């Protein structure tokens, strides 16, 4: 059974930093792309960042230059380092697994989700 | 900036059929965007319903179906049930690892 468990959320001051982790199990972590999606309270979902199986990274414009995504395939762990935090970064952050490839066809959806971690940026 | 558009809200009667759509501000949605659909209830993570336009995720009832209608992706719920009352999000894959979420549609079943 695929399981994703976020940790590391909490309260940070504007301009501060937080690091989220996502422990993955139930699948061969190193062979799948992974991502982070966030949701401010009462608002919609927003894609934040993705990392491919080879380590290539991508970021939404809203976090580019402030956030970094990484993975440790030996520990089956995905991380999101969040620096220069702003009030508008306050949200629940979900870890999500990307879809799969079969033959020459790849599927780019998010097929499994964690329960989410709350990040609050406030003075 | 890419904007993915969805109806803010929609209502359907129990047993009825409803089609939610997902458009692009500056282009037509095609299968090349690998449209996917997610259902979310308050306090819960999203649940994946449909991916790559029309493939149902494991365990999703066949009353949920995906398609391209005109220049938009579409999610059709046939025989709506009370527990279908949720928020529905579409996502378009823009390539190079980038996904864009629509603003979501709040579906009321009443």
CA A107 to chain centre: 18
Per-residue confidence at A26, pLDDT binned at 50, 70, 90?
very high
Note the pLDDT of residue B1.
Answer: 80
pLDDT of residue A103: 83
Q: What is the mean pLDDT of each run of 10 residues along chain B (110 residues)?
A: 94 97 94 97 97 96 97 98 97 94 97
Whether the predicted pLDDT of A46 surpasses 90: yes
Residue A104 has pLDDT above 90, yes or no: no
* Band of residue A106 on the pLDDT scale cut at 50, 70, 90: confident
Q: With contacts defined as CB-CB under 8 Å, which chain B residues touch A45?
A: 38, 40, 46, 89, 101, 104
Judged against a pLDDT cut of 90, whether residue A18 lies above it is answered with: yes
Task: Check if A69 contacts B (Cβ < 8 Å).
Answer: no
Q: Which residues of B touch A33 (CB under 8 A)?
A: 97
Q: Residue A113 in contact with residue A95, Cβ under 8 Å? A: yes
Distance from the Cα of A13 to chain B's closest Cα (Å) equals 25
Tell me, yes or no, if B66 comes closer than 8 A to chain A by beta carbon. no
pLDDT at A8: 97
The pLDDT of residue B61:
96
Q: Are B2 and B90 in contact (CB under 8 A)?
A: no
To the nearest whole Å, the CA of B42 is away from the closest chain A CA by: 9
Quick check: A102 contacting B, CB < 8 Å? no
- Subunit contact A58:B96, Cβ cutoff 8 A: yes
User: Looking at residue A101, what is its pLDDT?
Assistant: 85
- CA distances from residue B7 to B28, B80, B82 in whole angstroms, order as listed: 16, 17, 20
Instruction: At A9, list the tokens.
Output: 């959320």
Q: What is the mean pLDDT of residues A3-21?
A: 97
Write the CB contacts of A75 (distance below 8 Å, at least 6 apart in sequence). none
């Amino acid at each position: 059974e695929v399981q994703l468990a976020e940790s590391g959320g909490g309260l940070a001051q504007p301009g501060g930093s937080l690091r989220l982790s996502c422990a993955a199990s139930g699948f061969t972590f190193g062979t799948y792309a992974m991502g982070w999606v966030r949701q401010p309270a009462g608002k919609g979902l927003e894609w934040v960042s993705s990392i491919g199986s080879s380590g290539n990274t991508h970021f939404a414009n809203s976090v580019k230059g402030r956030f970094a995504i990484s993975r440790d395939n030996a520990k089956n762990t995905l991380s999101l380092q969040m620096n220069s935090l702003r009030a508008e970064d306050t949200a629940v952050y979900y870890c999500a697994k990307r879809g799969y490839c079969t033959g020459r066809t790849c599927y780019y959806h998010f097929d499994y989700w964690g329960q989410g971690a709350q990040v609050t940026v406030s003075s | 900036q890419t904007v993915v558009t969805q109806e803010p809200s929609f209502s359907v009667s129990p047993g009825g059929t409803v089609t939610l759509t997902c458009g692009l501000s500056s282009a037509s949605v095609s299968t090349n965007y690998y449209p996917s659909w997610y259902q979310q209830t308050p306090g819960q993570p999203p649940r994946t319903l449909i991916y790559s336009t029309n493939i149902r995720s494991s365990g999703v009832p066949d009353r949920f179906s995906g398609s391209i209608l005109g220049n938009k992706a579409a999610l059709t719920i046939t025989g709506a049930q009370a527990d279908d009352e949720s928020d529905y999000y579409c996502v378009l894959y823009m390539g190079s690892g980038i996904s864009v979420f629509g603003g979501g549609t709040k579906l009321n079943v009443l």
